[in-house]
Structure 1
Amino acid sequence: MIGEQSVFIVDDDESFLNAARRVFRSAGFRVETFESAGAFLSAYRPCDEACLILDLRMPGVGGLELLERLRERQIDLPVIIYTGNADVPVTVRAMQAGAFSVVEKPFSDELLIARVREAIASSRTRRVRNATIAEARAKLAALTEREREIARCLADGLSAPQIGARLGISARTVEAHRANLFRRLDVTSIAIVARLMLWADLGGD
């Protein structure tokens, strides 16, 4: 079940903050507003199901610099930037810095709400994916090097005799290693082993 969704808004324009607070609260979001990047960074506490909306140009720390600080602190939070001039270079820089979306003024309340919901959904999908990858890697890390070699061969669809020929061991030894790795991974089929290998590989280096 999806819990309460939060929206953090950073802008030095108090009238915009007040209007945005009303809009998002009426749409069912929990809303926190901040008049500067520093105020947000000081008050932020990690939470799931959240999105940050911020102005590109603000006194002191602007939107792009705040994005960079979030990445430096490894704060995994989807960010939507809005600006009065979303030209190509600005948009590219923002996306490279990790922004989920760049919205150009003037924009409708409906558009901004839709973008926030998309950003939160995308972040949720990414968290689930990363957790699955981490779990697969942790399980495979518990295997011995030989068991991982055999797990890879099993995932490639090789039979015990074929694996034995490839690794220079007997088919019986392969079967023993297979039984051990099945027990360590707590799985009952080669298909599950193959899926674990696939998820582990998706994470890259």
Structure 2
Amino acid sequence: MSADQSVAIVDDDDFFRKALERVFHSAGFRTESFAAAEAFLASYIPKDEACIILDLRMPRLGGLELLDRLKERGIDVPVIIYTGNADVPVTVQAMQAGAYAVVEKPLSSELLITRVRAAITDARARRTRRNQSASARAKLKLLTEREIEVARHLTEGLSSPEMADLLGISPRTVDAHRANLLRKLEIRSIAALARLFVLTELGDS
């Protein structure tokens, strides 16, 4: 899997940056490295199977400021802050800013590689959830407001007569809405319908 995965390293320390390049290259990752946050922002192209490793303290633009810039640009790539001073306030601040993890130098190569792989795996799962959520929301937009009401009540286990009383319509009309919504959604079971509603809530998780 590593052959399709990449790591971008942003650190003004030439020796340390090159050492990380060797570590990840030997583990099968494609690597990019940048001596300054400004250089990274000028040329980095986001990738799905990727992780960014940032030094916390760099001249002009530090790791936390760079995290803010990434959010502003909508770059959704997991970021690991790698610092020589990972005290609690710094760690909390970095995590609140959106970092995947904060690790303290020096960390063994094996553990750092494990962290990066975990970050990429988690980001992939998050993308999958977002895509599933977007697909579910798009499907439910095919329904009328009344069909949405009937659909929700179906997932709550209400019968046609119960829904008819609740909505002020006839059981036959309820059954017609049920048939229409299942046809529009191209599903056959209430379990599949319930899954659609669950998926719509997963997009931001």
Q: TM-score, normalised by structure 2?
A: 0.96
SS in 2 for 1:71: helix
Retained in 1: the 8 A contact 2:77–2:123?
Answer: yes
In structure 2, relative to structure 1, the CA distance for the partners of 1:201 and 1:19 (3 Å cut) is closer
Is 2-11 or 52-61 further displaced after alignment?
Answer: 2-11
Retained in 2: the 8 A contact 1:17–1:33?
Answer: yes
Aligned to 1:176: 176
Cα root mean square deviation, aligned: 1.4
Aligned to 2:166: 166
Cα distance between partner residues in 2 of 1:51 and 1:111: 15
Mind listing any 5+ residue stretches in structure 1 that lack a counterpart?
none
Identity, % of aligned positions: 65
Give the CA deviation at 1:203.
4.0
Cα distance between partner residues in 2 of 1:30 and 1:108: 19
Cα distance between partner residues in 2 of 1:63 and 1:2: 25
In structure 2, relative to structure 1, the CA distance for the partners of 1:122 and 1:148 (3 Å cut) is same
Cα distance between partner residues in 2 of 1:166 and 1:35: 65
In structure 2, relative to structure 1, the CA distance for the partners of 1:122 and 1:150 (3 Å cut) is same
Aligned to 1:139: 139
In structure 2, relative to structure 1, the CA distance for the partners of 1:2 and 1:154 (3 Å cut) is farther
Aligned to 1:101: 101
Aligned to 2:81: 81
Retained in 1: the 8 A contact 2:131–2:203?
Answer: no
In structure 2, relative to structure 1, the CA distance for the partners of 1:2 and 1:104 (3 Å cut) is closer
Give the CA deviation at 1:2.
8.5
Aligned to 1:36: 36
Cα distance between partner residues in 2 of 1:11 and 1:126: 27
Cα distance between partner residues in 1 of 2:124 and 2:2: 10
State whether structure 2 residue 15 is matched by structure 1 residue 25.
Answer: no
Is 145-154 or 11-20 further displaced after alignment?
Answer: 11-20
Mind listing any 5+ residue stretches in structure 2 that lack a counterpart?
none
Retained in 1: the 8 A contact 2:82–2:103?
Answer: yes
Q: How many residues align?
A: 204
Q: TM-score, normalised by structure 1?
A: 0.96
Give the CA deviation at 1:46.
2.2
- Residues 104-140 of structure 1 show CA distances to partners (whole Å, capped at 9, x for unaligned) of 1121111111110010011011111111111111111
Q: Structure 1 counterpart of 2:42, which letter?
A: S
